[in-house]
């Protein structure tokens, strides 16, 4: 469940004319079947051009935090390095900061009211 705040790992594989996106909880091996698979030939769309990639996320009107804790890239599956999960940083928890801010605001309001 991507909404519970637990880390996920995502594999984005592009081979020839097929883009596959596979998702699993952290420390779980890559599933055999991708979550999303699409035929797309990038050389037809971007002939003789350099390509760049990036990351994006959207939640509409909801507040959400997304963090990329690590990533690996290779033009060849053979040369792709596995991530050392023990070296990944911990996920920051912005909710704790918000709770401290709310507590500080309530304390200030009580002091001002007295």
DSSP notation for 10-69:
EEEEEETTEEEEEEEETTSPPPSS-SEEEE--HHHHSTT-----------TTS-------
Q: Averaged over 57-62, what is the pLDDT?
A: 80
Residue 100's pLDDT is 56
Residue 37's pLDDT is 95
**Choice between 12 and 52, residue whose per-residue pLDDT is larger:** 12
Distance CA 46, CA 33 (A): 28
What confidence category does residue 114 fall into, taking pLDDT thresholds of 50, 70 and 90? very low
The answer, yes or no, to whether residue 11 has pLDDT greater than 80, is: yes
∠ CA 106-109-114 to the nearest 5 degrees? 130
Residue 61's pLDDT is 84
Global pTM exceeds 0.75: no
What are the CA-CA distances from residue 34 to residues 21, 57, 60, 110 (Å)? Answer: 5, 19, 25, 54
What is the number of residues in the chain? 114
Q: How do residues 79-100 score in pLDDT, each as one tens digit?
A: 777 888 888 888 776 655 555 5
Q: How do residues 13-53 score in pLDDT, each as one tens digit?
A: 888 889 999 998 888 899 999 999 999 998 888 888 777 87
Distance CA 5, CA 51 (A): 32
**Residues facing residue 18 across a β-bridge:** 15, 39
């Amino acid at each position: 469940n991507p909404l519970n705040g637990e880390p996920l790992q995502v594999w984005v594989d592009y081979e020839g004319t097929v883009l596959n996106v596979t998702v699993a909880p952290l420390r779980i091996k890559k599933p055999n079947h991708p979550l999303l698979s699409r035929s797309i030939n990038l050389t037809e769309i971007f002939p003789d051009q350099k390509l760049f990639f990036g990351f994006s996320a959207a939640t509409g009107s909801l507040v959400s935090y997304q963090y990329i804790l690590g990533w690996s890239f290779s033009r060849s599956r053979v040369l792709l390095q596995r991530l050392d999960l023990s070296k990944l940083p911990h996920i920051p928890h912005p909710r704790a900061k918000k709770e401290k801010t709310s507590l500080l605001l309530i304390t200030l309001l009580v002091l001002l009211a007295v």
